[in-house]
Amino acid sequence: MKFASLFPGIKPVIAMVHLNPMPGTPLYDADAGIEGIVQGALKDLDALQAADVDAVMFGNENDRPYELKVNVATTAAMAFVVGRLREKIRKPFGVNVLWDPDATVALAAATGASFVREIFTGTYASDMGPWTPDAGRALREARRLDRKDLVILNNVSAEFAHSLDARPLPDRARSAVFSSIPDAVLVSGAITGEAAKMNDLEAVKKVLPDTPVLANTGVKHATVAEVLKIADGCIVGSSLKVDGHTWNAVDPARAREFMEIVKKTRA
């Protein structure tokens, strides 16, 4: 399995580098410019790697209001930023362009990312409007770009949205694995920083014993040990920030403390 090859023998902690708003988005800081984005990301990257997280993922969570199809300038700017940081990255890294699977795959191909996270399957009513991603198109694009090695993390419980599929979450997850061949499944809370329900994690893992299932949001210092008893890893962002606030910079001490808890859990 590609996931196990990327993370052999561990339940990985994938830490987020939330990039500052991209050029052209409403919250972009024109005075700091794209160099400000690079320097902010470098500071977070250094703190996370010093804490010995297992992997990092670059995402554009700050590009609010979110879009389902991003402007090409966003993908290009993210590629520039990750490219500037490339020689500093010592861990496996992934990318996520919210909420555009095609752009995410293209960014991974451009930057050499090992994995991607996105909503690849399902139909949702969302803050961004009707939402129907196309896994078939995105994965074919990965193949066209010669990235059949790309590890696909499919979030089956979209944030900022409600599934229009009446099937229970475990049934949707099991079906998505069969129909759309992701390498791992992610279970999320309702919004960024809000925890996935433990019973959702348990139910999805029960029907997918042979597929990695990760907690995608809201994992905290106080809960990570419990989460990793069930999940096959986690993605964490807000909990590692100053004061645990999503839009702040990474707090080196909080990141170290989080990983110390994880390592004790593994021992």
- As a whole number, mean pLDDT of residues 67-72 equals 98
Residue 1 has pLDDT above 90, yes or no: no
- 125 found inside a domain: yes
Task: For residue 59, give the H/E element and its range.
Answer: strand 55-59
In a domain, 205, yes or no: yes
Vertex 117 angle, CA 115 and 120, to 5°: 120
Overall average pLDDT of the 107-112 stretch: 99
Cβ–Cβ < 8 Å for 89, 117: no
- Is 208 contained in some domain? yes
Model-level pTM? Answer: 0.98
| Predicted pLDDT of residue 251 | 99
Supply the mean pLDDT for the chain: 98
Q: Give the helix ranges, DSSP H, for 208-240.
A: 224-230
Q: Which two tokens stand for residue 214?
A: 């990760």
pLDDT of residue 25 exceeding 90, the answer is yes
Task: Report CA-CA distances (Å) from 63 to 21, 27, 172.
Answer: 5, 7, 28
pLDDT for position 209: 99
pLDDT given for residue 267 in this prediction: 84
Mean pLDDT for 164-190 is 99
What count of other Cβ atoms lies within 10 Å of the Cβ of residue 220? 16
For the residues 103-107, what does the mean pLDDT come to?
Answer: 99
Domain contains 77: yes
Residue 12: both structure tokens together: 């990985």
- What residue numbers bound the domain in which 151 lies? 2-262
Provide CB contacts within 8 A for 170, sequence distance 6+.
203, 204, 206, 207
Here the CATH number for the domain that contains residue 14 is 3.20.20.70
Q: Indicate the number of domains in the chain.
A: 1
- For the segment 140-171, what is each residue's pLDDT rounded down to a tens digit? 999 999 999 999 999 999 999 999 999 999 99
**CA–CA separation, 96 vs 262, rounded Å?**
24
Query: In this structure, is residue 198 part of a structural domain?
Result: yes
The widest CA-to-CA distance across the chain, in whole angstroms, is: 50
Give Cα separations from 162 to 70, 122, 173, 190 (angstroms). 21, 10, 15, 9
Burial 23-52 (b: 16+ CB within 10 A, else e): bebeebeeeeebeebbebbeebbebbbebe
Whether 267 is covered by a domain: the verdict is: no
Give the residue among 7, 2, 16, 49 at the shortest CA–CA distance from 266. Answer: 7
Residue 85's closest CA among 57, 105, 106, 109?
57
CB 172 within 8 A of CB 124: no
Q: What is the pLDDT of residues 221-261, one digit of tens each?
A: 999 999 999 999 999 999 999 999 999 999 999 999 999 99
Residue 53 lies in a domain: yes
Q: Is residue 164 part of a domain?
A: yes
Residue 147: per-residue pLDDT: 98
Residue 183 to residues 3, 23, 229, Cα–Cα distance (Å) = 6, 32, 20
Phi/psi at 14 (5° precision): -100, 115
